Amino acid sequence: MAYSIHHDLLIKAPIHKIFEAITEPEHLINWWPLKCEGIPKENEDYNFFFTSEYNWYGKVIKLEKNKSFYIKMTKSDADWDPTSFGFDLEKQKGDVLIKFWHVGWPECNAHFRGSSYCWAMLLNGLKNYVEKGIVVPFKERE
């Protein structure tokens, strides 16, 4: 049995601005990793650098402009390697609903539970970044 994380949030911003924030490395570093490299295109690799101990990689498995962005982890740790995460974007009366998911967790362990909490906090950071231009310093991110 695999475990899954799911979070939904509304963002009051143009959909293209949100899509850039979740796909473009120069925007990702403002709410998630310390450093990031990658090209938003299917089958391209992304490097998510948090620290030298957490220098992780994933591959884009789906990209539909202003609609969806999915990553399959390829080099991370034992809990994250079998997982994939993604964002589905839907327009809703001037807002955008983000349906975030992170699936394929092998266990409902402390890492899984902690990652669910961290994703919730990071997605709130994404919302504040896109709506208000707020960048939480990396060391203060969950």
> Distance between terminal CA atoms of the chain?
27
Q: Give the whole-angstrom CA distance, residue 142 versus residue 138.
A: 9
pLDDT, one tens digit per residue, over 1-46 is 899 999 999 999 999 999 999 999 999 999 999 999 999 999 999 9
Question: In whole angstroms, how large is the CA radius of gyration of the chain?
Answer: 14
Q: Model-level pTM?
A: 0.96
pLDDT digits (tens, 9 = 90+) for 56-92: 999 999 999 999 999 999 999 999 999 999 999 999 9
Question: Do 125 and 13 touch, CB atoms closer than 8 A?
Answer: no
Domains of the chain, each with CATH number or no CATH: 3-140 (3.30.530.20)
Please give the torsion angle defined by the CA atoms of residues 26, 28, 29 and 35, in that order, rounded to the nearest 10 degrees: -80
